[in-house]
Structure 1
Amino acid sequence: MGTYLSTPITEKCDESGESLELEWGVVDMQGWRKSMEDSHTAQGEQQLQQMARVFGVYDGHGGAEVARFCQYYFVDVLMNQPINASQTPVGKSLREAFHAMDRLIDDPTRQHEISILRSTKTMKAQADKSLSTVLTPEQAEVLKHEIEEFEKKTNSNNNADKEEDGEKDDDNHPIHAGATAVVAVITGKILTVANAGDSRAVLCRRRRSRDGNNGTDDDGHYAFPLSYDHKPSQTHELNRILCSGGFVNHFGRINGNLNLSRSIGDLKYKQVPGIPPEDQMITAEPDIMQIVVEDEDEFIILGCDGIWDCLSNEQAVNFVMERIQTKTPVEIGTEMLDTIISDDPRITQGIGGDNMTIMIIDLQTSNRERRRKSNTSTDESLSSTKENEDDDNNMTTTSEAAME
């Protein structure tokens, strides 16, 4: 079957968590692919300009190493972006973090580590091991310091070094893999999304009636896009590719190879001298979208293109909305992957045959029926325990009185 297995690997890995009023769950599945190249980030209560929750999905190609590298390092890199007196906006910090990941991946001192990530068994259970299992304890301990020092060094001389060195040999560049990235940061009521590639984020939002009030009926929600895909055939992407010396063939592939135009990694496409990172043939430059989270907003979905090849934004939102009152994000994600995986990707022309990662961030978890039932059961259990204790106390008192 070429790039596909004879039978799919449908075993799933999941992760869930809570932070203040949020509950999230992420589920991924290797599916028909011969390796698992997706990774993700879900971190609650990180300190950026203010307390932040950071969520990301990284869809690897050409190998899993860049996606895994993002999983291990992106949040640390983001948190170490400089904050000046004017309070650097979260969007700017995200933009800098995307490009900083490229510089970190290109650092010669990181090549051994990346080769370990490349050679590690690609089954998801192995890929999800913590960084400490593939690095020595000493390396893990000094990680934050290394990032800070690296950022100081590269921010000051990165452009000068590239111009001095000239164009690198594409074929000999040690990094051949890349990863699309979509990252959502929640700071208070502000939601900031950064996207490079064709992974995607979407918000389920209540529809407002003509008088400006929020809809209250069951159909009063809609899919609010938080990102837009980047493809080589798009005019603004094509112009950048051509200006940097590349071409797009009739299959929509850059230089006859990649079918996406923005990513972290893919460094051999980012070596044209005299051109800034955002103007390279393939760039890590993310689109930034920032919105105010409304009180009635339901949930956020992040997913790799394996999801969006099968479902539109609206279909994904409806799928989750129909289940979220009674099922957890992990349960919904599991059901979604089982629903959309192809029976045979040869027949579906690859649709439903990719790696799949779905992340659901519930913004209304305290209002869900499943949570209310859980609280009711807990209250009833506590009440029953209290009643039993009272009965025991009464029996003891009665027994003591009888003895007297």
Structure 2
Amino acid sequence: MGIYLSTPKTEKFSEDGENAKLKFGLSSMQGWRANMEDAHAALPDLNSSTSFFGVYDGHGGKVVAKFCAKYLHSQVLKNEGSSSGDLGASVQKAFFRMDEMMRGQRGWRELAILGDKINKFTGMIEGLIWSPKGGDSHDRQDEWAFEEGPHSDFPGPTSGSTACVAVIRNNQLIVANAGDSRCVISRKGQAYNLSKDHKPELEVERERILKAGGFIHAGRVNGSLNLARAIGDMEFKQNKFLPVEKQIVTANPDINTVELCDDDDFIVLACDGIWDCMSSQQLVDFIHEHINTETRLSAVCERVLDRCLAPSTAGGEGCDNMTMILVQFKKPLNKNTDCSESSAQAAASEAETK
């Protein structure tokens, strides 16, 4: 976690896209870290009525973040049939499903493919043997049905990832978060946090950790993990007498629902590499300063990454991997939508605005 390069890698992966209701830009940069452990997903047309955006900040390796970026969004749609159309419940199930999928035999093979060096080679060979014949595997998610529940011989990954996702359908925005990546909405230039950073010292997190048999030392769960919620990290999820949401570390996301209106400018999803350097309001102000002068939203994101990058590793802040997604809403969203008070303010107060 604390290993730095002698000079930062400032090359950026950037992307832009849009549909009839929104446009997005994103950028990610390795920075001073020895490895890039962030991943992301940006699907403006997950289906005909749904957009999906997610940032995943890996720790102890990149594979869990990459696994989430590859599969979490498809599980949201798959879960909808069993959730009576409750999109929030579908998203929540998708977070838990990541842990389940990674613990099976196919999950082991997929994690190997997403890994490096000899693991990647071995995983590719086994993955080819395991893969269903014919058709695109992306459209054959039911193949995971062979792996219901944990596989007895494989405990799952020993590393993990935060997950912060935004799902937009019609004028409804659903934000789900586990960890310390964050989603912020700008309404009339005011920043409202739509997610809460899950740190061990928070009372609700501390209480669960201690009841599950864990401890907190130097602000870290069992002295090692500085997050209270994450996907993966199976070593913190071994109590067979407790449900998944009550383990020392849980993948259980906070779910926040907002009714969008024409006062809403954009949302930002970013990993803590950004939030360590800028407050929510500072980032919203910076975006407003540049969003109308750049031709691409990804260029705005790139400016933020350059702004946050530390000149040296002496201070720690600005030395992390950085990933940011900026989603701008096209107007009018809905001429009948009431923008007075309500949703963003209420959702933000619930998420404890900073």
- Name the SS for the 1:322 alignment partner: helix
* Aligned AA (1:191): L
In 2, the alpha carbon distance for the partners of 1:360 and 1:133 equals 37
Aligned residues: 327
Secondary structure of 2:91's match? helix
Q: Does 1:191 align with 2:169?
A: no
Q: Secondary structure of the equivalent of 1:68?
A: helix
Once the two structures are TM-superposed, the CA of residue 200 in structure 1 deviates from its matched residue by: 0.2
Q: Which residue of 1 aligns with 2:27?
A: 27
Pairwise CA distance, 1:119: 1.2
Change (3 A) 1:291 1:174: closer
CA distance in 1, matches of 2:253, 2:53: 15
Note if 1:341 corresponds to 2:309.
yes
In structure 1, C-alpha distance between the alignment counterparts of 2:52 and 2:84, rounded to whole Å: 19
Tell me if structure 1 keeps the 8 A contact 2:174–2:256.
yes
Give TM-score, length-normalised by structure 2: 0.85
The equivalent of 1:205 in structure 2 is 187
Deviation at 1:326, TM superposition (A): 2.1
Between the aligned partners of 2:305 and 2:144, the Cα distance in structure 1 is 39
Q: Larger C-alpha radius of gyration, 1 or 2?
A: 1
| Amino acid paired to 1:326 | T
Change (3 A) 1:269 1:4: same
Q: Which structure has more helix as a fraction of its residues?
A: 1
Post-superposition offset of 1:287 = 0.1
- Say if 2:92 is the partner of 1:95: yes
For structure 1, the residue ranges without an aligned partner over 5 or more in a row are: 127-131, 207-220, 368-404
Q: Which residue of 2 aligns with 1:370?
A: none
Deviation at 1:151, TM superposition (A): 4.8
The percentage of counterpart residues that share the same residue type is 40
SS in structure 2 at match of 1:81: helix
Residue 108 (str. 1) matches residue 90 (str. 2): no
Give the corresponding residue for 1:311.
278
Q: Take 1:63 and 1:252, find their aligned partners in 2: how far apart are those partners?
A: 21
RMSD, aligned α-carbons:
2.8
The ranges of structure 1 where at least 4 consecutive aligned residues each deviate by more than 4 angstroms after the TM superposition are 132-140
Measure how far apart 1:41 and its partner are.
0.4
Would you say 1:363 and 2:329 are equivalent positions?
yes
1:110-149 matches, within 5 Å, as: 110-119=107-116, 136=128, 141=135, 143-144=137-138, 147-149=141-143
Distance 2:235 2:312 in 1: 34
The verdict on how the C-alpha distance between 1:279 and 1:2 changes in structure 2, with shifts beyond 3 A counting, is closer
Give the TM-score, by structure 1 length.
0.75
How far, CA to CA, are the matches of 1:322 and 1:3 in structure 2?
A: 34
Question: Any gaps of 5 or more consecutive residues in structure 2?
Answer: 334-354
Q: Deviations over 1:224-255 (max 9, x none)?
A: 11101000111110111111111001x11111
After superposition, the Cα gap between the structure-2 partners of 1:75 and 1:245, relative to the gap in structure 1 and judged at 3 Å, is same
Change in Cα spacing, 1:343 to 1:133, as seen in structure 2 (3 Å) is farther
User: Corresponding residue for 2:160?
Assistant: 178
